[in-house]
Amino acid sequence: MENPVLVQREGAIAVVVLNRPEKLNAINRAMWHDLAESFEALADETWVRCIVLRGAGTKAFAPGADITEFTTERSTIAKAKVYADVMRRAIEAIDQCPHPVVAMIHGVCVGGGLEVAGLADLRICGESSRFGVPIAKLGLTMAYPEIEGLVRLVGEATALEILLEGRVFDAKEALAKGLVTRVVADGEVEAEAMATAQRIADGAPLVARWHKKFAHRLRSPAPLTDDEYDEGIACFGTDDFQEGHKAFLEKRKPSFKGE
């Protein structure tokens, strides 16, 4: 049996693959578990400058949960709670990952698939990609940990439109709603997502992580502390700042070390 999640290395880019192509990468409990394990491990890797998250193949990112598990893994409230704990760990691992995450979206990105893609920092999809959360037709809720990312991404009103109507809609509408960052031709999705990741990886890694941390911190209404204000100028004490501004003056490409 193949691993439900693969981690591949391409230079300073880690590629995390939802690997159930025979099921269009439908998310089962094992995949949630391995997503958590993979992102928790990558969080501590110093070689990583960007993570690309994708589904195996080009037919789907993920169509949502594997419904065949409903009768085995989620048939009672007690079982559903165990499953939810596994899922929540994966959600938190992706959301809290310090490295920038780019979702490469081919084809269907629905339900739990949209939930996972929505945790990425950038989302790049093809023109024929389809999105939605039609779980009301299953009598199923999107619980607090799952809905949080969607509300944060598109706002309460649009999130409720998606959830209450349960429609599956196209990439053009997804872009208009703010669900995706960029829409390209289907055949260009992989190249554009990897090029985006490479542009991120070519920048100063400390700065990328700081920017992601700052953006996440501003989700909270709590006033910034003096230490946090100081953190905003910590870049001036790094070797990468010295390298970056010297390279600019010398009209050459900088070589950042993450120091």
Give the Cα separation of 163 and 158 in Å (integer): 9
**Is residue 120 over pLDDT 90?**
yes
Give the single-character DSSP code of 122: E
For residues 172, 127, 25, 94, the Cα torsion angle rounded to the nearest 10 degrees is -60
**What average pLDDT does range 51-61 have in this prediction?**
98
- In this prediction, residue 2 carries a pLDDT of 85
Confidence of residue 14 (pLDDT cuts 50, 70, 90): very high
Which domains, and CATH codes, for the chain? 5-200 (3.90.226.10), 204-249 (no CATH)
Q: What is the mean pLDDT of the chain?
A: 96
Please write the tens of the pLDDT for every residue from 20-47. Answer: 999 999 999 999 999 999 999 999 999 9
**CA distances from residue 147 to 29, 156, 208, 219 in whole angstroms, order as listed:** 19, 10, 26, 15
Q: Where are the alpha helices (DSSP H) in 15-165?
A: 29-43, 77-95, 112-117, 144-154, 156-165
Q: Which residue from 73, 58, 56, 74 is spatially nearest to 15, judged by alpha carbons?
A: 56
Give the Cα separation of 134 and 41 in Å (integer): 32
**What average pLDDT does range 46-75 have in this prediction?**
95
Please give the structure tokens belonging to residue 208: 């990328």
Please write the tens of the pLDDT for every residue from 200-212. Answer: 999 999 999 999 9
Which residues are registered as beta bridge partners of 30? none
Place of tokens 């085995």: 72
- In this prediction, residue 51 carries a pLDDT of 99
Q: Please state the pTM of the whole predicted model.
A: 0.95
- In this prediction, residue 70 carries a pLDDT of 87
**What average pLDDT does range 158-182 have in this prediction?**
98
Contact 149/115 with Cβ under 8 angstroms? yes
Give the Cα separation of 42 and 36 in Å (integer): 10
**What average pLDDT does range 147-153 have in this prediction?**
95
Worst-scoring range by mean pLDDT, 7-11, 226-230, 254-258?
A: 254-258
Please give the structure tokens belonging to residue 42: 């990558």
Pick the more confident residue, 241 or 125. 125
Which distant-in-sequence residues (6+ apart) come within 8 Å of 33 by Cβ?
86, 89, 90
